[in-house]
Structures are given as C-alpha cells and as structure tokens.
Amino acid sequence: MFGLRRREFITLVGGVVAWPLAASAQQTPKLPTIESLSPTTASVENQRVAAFVQRLRELGWIEGRTVAIKVRWAEGRSERAAEIVAEFVRQKVDVIVSRGTVSVLAAKQGTSLIPIVFAGAGDVGTGFVASVARPGGNVTGLSLQQTDLAGKRLELLREVVPALRRLAILANAGNPVTLLDMREVEAVAGTLGLTVVTVEIRRPEGPARDLSARKLKHAGVNYGSAA
C-alpha cells in the first residue's frame, strides 16, 4: 500500500512541476513581425510610418494584436542599412518593408529568403529585380521609374525655360539610381544642346556645402536644377 501511495505522490508532484512549464508553452503565439527599414531618420520618416501603420490597421493588421511592427532608421548611411538588415535576418522576421534604392539593395543583399516589399524605390535598373515583367526573387514593390522619366523632365524644363543653356545637377553620388539618372539626363542634354555640370553630394550635410554660390559661380552655371 505504501508503494502505491508513493507512486501516486511522485505522479502528483511531477504534474505540479510540469504544469508551469505547460502553461508557459501555451502562451500567446508569436505575432507575425514586420520590420521597416527607413533610409533616413525618425524626424523625416515619421509621417510615412504613421500612414503605413494606419493603413495596416484598416486592413485588419493591428499593431500589438495581430502583427508586430518595428521600425529602424538607417540615418542616410548605407553601412547602417546593412547592419540593420543583418539584425533582421538574425531575428528571422517575417517581412521587411523598405524605401529608397540604397535601403532596398541592402535588404536584397542581406537575404534571399525573407520577403522584401519596397515603396518608392528608384529604378529596376539598379538590380533589385530582374525586370518589371519578370521580377523573380523575394523582392516586390513600387518603382518610381525615375530613370525612364529623366529625359522627359529635362524636355519639359527646356519648354518652361527656352533660354536654358547650362544645367547643374545636384546628385547623391552614393545612390545607384542617381548615377543612372545622371547618365540619362546627360544623354538627353546633349541632344538639346545643353551643357551639364554635376555637383555631387557624398554626405547628409552635403547640399548646403556643395550647392554654394561660389562653386556654382566657379562652374559658370547660371541656372541650377536638382536631380
């Protein structure tokens, strides 16, 4: 009889010990995780992020209830974007949402498995999809077709300013799509008889420094345009 009670006691104690572990295992399952990689800073991107979260809510994806949303900021640095993507991969997030060509390319180079959705990236010619007709891979989104429209913008500018002869391009030299854009503008400018002077930006604080009156005067530019 003692042996039977001892076995019952061990079974009871085992059940009590196992109960907290079972309860722990039955906690709320992990929510699907959307990680947003923004190319600049919170002060610049806050309105876009708020609109994104609001639209997800309207579609039934409510932050903290049906989905987890985390936002990281690359602060205009490509190396920072790559670090953030590596962190996303380690965390095994479900989707990466990004904007801007540099950030999208960093995401694509960082993972071929996690779905990447981009909003407002520059041009498919930079390589984040194979083609518009057959994108393939794990990347999809909205392209601005920036390079395709570069020549048309320049033609419209010439119509607005018929006396235009010299054109300054203020360009982010670290952005691959900008380089494509610049080449397209230069090609069209040649057909219109325009002289192009390029002022490159290589740091976030670059515009104020590079687009100085002294530099433009030195370049002999009498009309400027940003590209």
Is 211 a member of any domain?
yes
Strands 33-38, 224-226: pairing is unpaired
DSSP H or E run through 121: strand 116-121
Q: Are residues 103 and 41 in the same domain?
A: yes
Q: Which residue has the higher pLDDT, 171 or 148?
A: 171
Is 99 a member of any domain?
yes
Q: Are residues 137 and 165 in the same domain?
A: no
Is 10 a member of any domain?
no
The upper half-sphere exposure of residue 6, i.e. CA atoms within 13 Å in the direction of its Cβ, equals 3
Q: Are residues 50 and 139 in the same domain?
A: yes
Residue 162, pLDDT > 70, answer yes
Return the number of other C-beta atoms located less than 10 Å from residue 46's C-beta: 12
Residue 23, pLDDT > 50, answer no
Nearest to 97 by CA among 139, 50, 62, 44: 139
- Which of 108, 124, 144 is the last residue in one of the domains? 144
Among 17-21, 52-56, 208-212, the range with the most confident prediction by mean pLDDT is: 52-56
Q: Are residues 130 and 151 in the same domain?
A: no
Q: What integer is the mean pLDDT of 137-165?
A: 80
Q: Are residues 134 and 58 in the same domain?
A: yes
* pLDDT classification of 216: cutoffs 50, 70, 90: very low
* pLDDT classification of 223: cutoffs 50, 70, 90: very low
Q: Which residue has the higher pLDDT, 147 or 191?
A: 191
Check which CATH number belongs to the domain holding 198 and give it: 3.40.50.2300
- Which of 118, 144, 170 is the last residue in one of the domains? 144
Per-residue pLDDT, 51 = 92
Q: What is the extent of the structural domain holding 209?
A: 147-226
Among 119-123, 135-139, 146-150, 169-173, the range with the most confident prediction by mean pLDDT is: 135-139
pLDDT tens string 172-197? 766 666 777 777 788 888 888 888 88
Q: Are residues 47 and 137 in the same domain?
A: yes
**Number of domains, the chain:** 2
Per-residue pLDDT, 184 = 78
Q: Are residues 152 and 138 in the same domain?
A: no
- Which of 116, 144, 172 is the last residue in one of the domains? 144
Is 208 a member of any domain?
yes
Per-residue pLDDT, 126 = 64
Collapsed DSSP state (helix, strand, coil) of residue 153: helix
Is 169 a member of any domain?
yes
Q: How far apart, in whole angstroms, are the C-alpha atoms of residue 227 and residue 177? A: 11
Q: How far apart, in whole angstroms, are the C-alpha atoms of residue 124 and residue 155? A: 23
Tokens at 89, concatenated:
């991969």
Q: What is the mean pLDDT of the chain?
A: 75
Residue 202, pLDDT > 70, answer no
pLDDT tens string 74-86? 988 888 999 999 9
Q: Are residues 71 and 163 in the same domain?
A: no
Residue 45, pLDDT > 50, answer yes
Measured N-to-C along each axis, helices 101-110 and 176-191 cross at an angle, to the nearest 10 degrees, of: 130
Return the number of other C-beta atoms located less than 10 Å from residue 220's C-beta: 10
Tokens at 135, concatenated:
């994108």
Per-residue pLDDT, 100 = 79
